[in-house]
Amino acid sequence: MLKILYIHQYFTTPQYSGGVRSYEFAKRLVARGCQVSMLTSDAFFKPESHQGLNRSYQVKVDGIDVNVIHAPYSNRSGFLFRVFAFIKFMFVCCLYAYRFRKYDVVYVTSTPLTVAVPALFLNKVFNMTMYFEVRDLWPDIPIELNIIKNRFIKFCLKKFELYVYRSAKKVVVLSEGMREEIVKKGISDEKLLLIPNASDVAFFDSCMKKKQPHKFELDAIRQQAIIGLYAGTFGYANDLSYVVELAKELKGRGANFSFFLIGDGAERDKLKKLVKSYNVNDVVKFLPAVSKEELVGYIQAADFCISTVRNSPALYNNSANKFFDALAAGRPIVINHEGWMKKSIDNNGLGLVLNYDIGGSAVKLEAFFSSYDIVTGEKRIKAYAKSHFDRELLFNRLYQSVFSNHNIN
């Protein structure tokens, strides 16, 4: 039996909020006969039976042995608090990792980059095969956003990033843009494996059969206005002020659009004040973060999903779950940036690409939905999702390229 240690600081399941990529992959590895132990924090993974416990614990989830390290984290917290959370998890994770020193493989997924440290410990000291998954380009993003300013720290982080890539047997990337950027850093393209996020069409379809009270609430609004949905982090990089500005412009034009912002983050209170100052409380609504299962109902009740980032090239290569979830529901995705997603949308009729000109973007959005055919659009988008981002398809690619190369006793 192949023994895999899977390290993901922000592991979660469909019963809680957050992306479920690691859960879906780990669950499938177990089904293939592998023993999977997950090392994670209690940032998002908080089963009810352990709520309020300020300690680490173990729990089994769909065959996955989940080891939860107490390392409080909130995307509402300041930069220094988050850095402390990264460092705490890194050190405690190294202590936990020692228990798994006789495992065959360590598969670690970022961010942050510090999660690579316990994997490197096992790789260098116990010769365990290491695979590294890049979800976001660190330290490129915090450096380009001017969050990390110290030259020496920048130098050290860039050197460490390359050391991680070179130490890994393979580096899994989530977008073509990420692959191109890492190749520019001197890493061989042969070492890189592209496995994007997935569109779980079957999961979304099954959720449609369940009773979703809030869905009918949105459906009522949908009769009067076109609903745009954002679900995710309210962070600096996401720049949700763009959505508020867009809502203001559309309202001023007399266009019937409403936006629902689902989630939490450091920018939430600031955004609420902006909504109030622009007098768009009637067309911009805030909802708390919900589980993936609940989120499906909201997405299916919306007319389109929206994903925004600050105008920074380092952010254009992201592989946002919002993009893939929209496709899984057959909803057009609206973004405001360049990159691989723009090409996919433009080339395959998956939605609309706006820019940072709010006035022009409002006109473009209104024109798009004045002639958009929902029925044919849903069929086209779902078909594309199934052929390009099906979960089983992507897992099989990962399994054949990574885990099948190891002997299972």
Q: Are strands 333-335 and 351-353 parallel, antiparallel or unpaired?
A: parallel
User: pLDDT: is 89 or 406 the higher one?
Assistant: 89
Angle, nearest 10°, between helix axes 151-167 and 116-126? 50
Yes or no: say if 4 and 36 are a contact pair by the CB < 8 Å rule: yes
Cis check: omega of the bond before 14, within 30 degrees of 0: no
Question: Nearest Cα to 345, choosing from 367, 377, 375?
Answer: 377
For 282-311, how does the pLDDT look when each residue is reduced to its tens digit (9 = 90+)? Answer: 999 999 988 888 899 899 889 999 999 999
Number of C-beta neighbours around residue 252 at 10 A: 12
* CA–CA gap between residue 131 and residue 164 (Å, rounded): 9
% of the chain at pLDDT higher than 70:
91
Burial of 119 (0-12, 13-18, 19+ CB in 10 A): buried
* CA–CA gap between residue 360 and residue 357 (Å, rounded): 5
Beta bridge partners of 261: 230, 286
Lowest mean per-residue pLDDT among 49-63, 155-169, 239-253, 267-281: 49-63
- At 56 the pLDDT is 80
Yes or no: say if 108 and 40 are a contact pair by the CB < 8 Å rule: no
Beta bridge partners of 57: 68
* CA–CA gap between residue 353 and residue 341 (Å, rounded): 9
- At 223 the pLDDT is 64
Torsion angle defined by CA atoms of residues 233, 238, 242 and 243, in that order, rounded to the nearest 10 degrees: -30
Lowest mean per-residue pLDDT among 51-65, 152-166, 229-243, 348-362: 51-65
Beta bridge partners of 396: none
